A and B are shown apart, each in its own frame.
Chain A
Amino acid sequence: MELLRILGEGLARNRLLAVILAGFALFPIYTGIADLPFWNDLAMRIMILGMAAMGLNLVLGYGGMVSFGHAAFVGIGAYAVGISQFYGLDNGWIHVLISLFACGVLGLVIGFLSLRTTGIYFIMITLAFAQMLYFLFVSLEQFGGDDGMSIDRADFMPIDLWEPLRLYYLIWVALLLTSLFLMVIVRSRFGVVLEAIRSNESRVEAMGLVPLRFKITGYVISAMICGLAGTMFASWQEYVSPDIMHWTRSGELMIIIILGGIGTLAGPLLGAVAFLLLEEWLPELMLLVAPAYAENWMIIFGPVLIAVVLFARGGLGGLIRRIAGGG
Chain B
Amino acid sequence: MIAPVLSLEGLNKSYGALQATRDVSLDVVAGEIHALIGPNGAGKTTLVRQIYGSEAPDSGTVRLHGATVNHLSVPQRVRNGIGRSFQISNVLMEFTVLENAMVAEAARRGEAFRFLRPAFTDRGLRDGAMAILARVGIEARGKTRVADLAHGERRLLEFALALAGDPALLLLDEPMAGAGPEETRHMIEIIERLRGEVAILLIEHDMDAVFRLADRVTVLVEGAVIASGTPDAISGDAAVRAAYLGGDDDVEA
Interface residues of A (CB under 8 A from B): 2-3, 6, 9-10, 184-185, 187-193, 195-196, 199-200, 202-210, 213-214, 217
Question: Could you tell me if A210 and B107 are in contact, using CB atoms closer than 8 angstroms?
Answer: no
Interface residue B9 (Cβ < 8 Å from any Cβ of A) = no
Which among A189, A205, A214 has the greatest number of chain B C-beta atoms within 10 A?
A: A189
Residue of A nearest to B106 (CB): A189
Question: Could you tell me if A185 and B115 are in contact, using CB atoms closer than 8 angstroms?
Answer: yes
Could you name 11 residue pairs across A and B whose Cβ atoms are closer than 8 Å?
A6-B117, A6-B118, A189-B111, A190-B112, A199-B94, A206-B84, A207-B78, A207-B107, A207-B164, A210-B75, A217-B113
Question: Could you tell me if B161 and A207 are in contact, using CB atoms closer than 8 angstroms?
Answer: yes
Given contacts A205-B78, A206-B162, A210-B75, whether A200 and B114 have CB atoms under 8 Å apart is no
In the bound complex, residues from chain A placing their C-beta under 8 Å from that of B78 are 205-208
In the bound complex, residues from chain B placing their C-beta under 8 Å from that of A214 are 112-113
C-alpha spacing A190/B116, complex, angstroms: 9
Given contacts A203-B91, A207-B103, whether A190 and B114 have CB atoms under 8 Å apart is yes
B160 to chain A, nearest CB (A): 12
In the bound complex, residues from chain B placing their C-beta under 8 Å from that of A185 are 115
Interface residues of B in 36-64 (CB under 8 A from A): none
Question: Could you tell me if A189 and B161 are in contact, using CB atoms closer than 8 angstroms?
Answer: no
Question: Could you tell me if B114 and A199 are in contact, using CB atoms closer than 8 angstroms?
Answer: no
Instruction: List 19 other contacts, CB 8 Å, given A193-B113, A207-B161.
Output: A6-B117, A6-B118, A187-B118, A188-B115, A190-B115, A192-B103, A193-B106, A195-B94, A195-B95, A199-B93, A199-B95, A200-B90, A205-B78, A206-B84, A208-B75, A208-B79, A208-B107, A208-B108, A209-B112
Question: Could you tell me if B119 and A191 are in contact, using CB atoms closer than 8 angstroms?
Answer: yes
Question: Could you tell me if B90 and A202 are in contact, using CB atoms closer than 8 angstroms?
Answer: yes
Count contacts on B: residues with CB < 8 A to the other chain.
36
In the bound complex, residues from chain B placing their C-beta under 8 Å from that of A192 are 99, 102-103, 106, 119-120
Question: Could you tell me if B119 and A189 are in contact, using CB atoms closer than 8 angstroms?
Answer: yes
Residue of B nearest to A200 (CB): B92
Interface residues of B in 106-134 (CB under 8 A from A): 106-108, 111-121
C-alpha spacing A184/B116, complex, angstroms: 6
In the bound complex, residues from chain B placing their C-beta under 8 Å from that of A208 are 75, 78-79, 107-108, 165
Question: Could you tell me if A206 and B112 are in contact, using CB atoms closer than 8 angstroms?
Answer: no
Question: Could you tell me if B119 and A205 are in contact, using CB atoms closer than 8 angstroms?
Answer: no
- Total A-B residue pairs with C-beta atoms closer than 8 Å? 99
C-alpha spacing A193/B95, complex, angstroms: 11
Residue of B nearest to A187 (CB): B118
C-alpha spacing A207/B85, complex, angstroms: 11
Question: Could you tell me if A10 and B74 are in contact, using CB atoms closer than 8 angstroms?
Answer: no
Interface residue B19 (Cβ < 8 Å from any Cβ of A) = no
Which of B93, B102, B104, B118 meets A10, CB within 8 Å? Answer: B118
Question: Could you tell me if A200 and B103 are in contact, using CB atoms closer than 8 angstroms?
Answer: no
Which of B74, B103, B118, B162 meets A196, CB within 8 Å? Answer: B103
C-alpha spacing A161/B17, complex, angstroms: 71
Given contacts A188-B118, A207-B161, whether A193 and B112 have CB atoms under 8 Å apart is yes
Question: Could you tell me if B90 and A203 are in contact, using CB atoms closer than 8 angstroms?
Answer: yes
C-alpha spacing A200/B79, complex, angstroms: 19
Interface residue B73 (Cβ < 8 Å from any Cβ of A) = yes
In the bound complex, residues from chain A placing their C-beta under 8 Å from that of B165 are 207-208
Interface residues of B in 145-196 (CB under 8 A from A): 161-162, 164-165
C-alpha spacing A187/B117, complex, angstroms: 8
Question: Could you tell me if A203 and B92 are in contact, using CB atoms closer than 8 angstroms?
Answer: yes
C-alpha spacing A2/B121, complex, angstroms: 14
A90 to chain B, nearest CB (A): 33
C-alpha spacing A200/B120, complex, angstroms: 18
Residue of A nearest to B171 (CB): A206
In the bound complex, residues from chain B placing their C-beta under 8 Å from that of A209 are 75, 107, 112
In the bound complex, residues from chain B placing their C-beta under 8 Å from that of A6 are 116-118
Which of B74, B84, B93, B113 meets A189, CB within 8 Å? Answer: B113
In the bound complex, residues from chain B placing their C-beta under 8 Å from that of A10 are 118
Given contacts A199-B92, A213-B113, whether A187 and B161 have CB atoms under 8 Å apart is no
A118 to chain B, nearest CB (A): 15
Which of A3, A9, A195, A205 meets B116, CB within 8 Å? Answer: A3
C-alpha spacing A185/B161, complex, angstroms: 24
Question: Could you tell me if B92 and A205 are in contact, using CB atoms closer than 8 angstroms?
Answer: no
In the bound complex, residues from chain A placing their C-beta under 8 Å from that of B114 are 188-190
Question: Could you tell me if B103 and A193 are in contact, using CB atoms closer than 8 angstroms?
Answer: yes
B148 to chain A, nearest CB (A): 15
A307 to chain B, nearest CB (A): 25
In the bound complex, residues from chain A placing their C-beta under 8 Å from that of B94 are 195, 199
Question: Could you tell me if A205 and B75 are in contact, using CB atoms closer than 8 angstroms?
Answer: yes
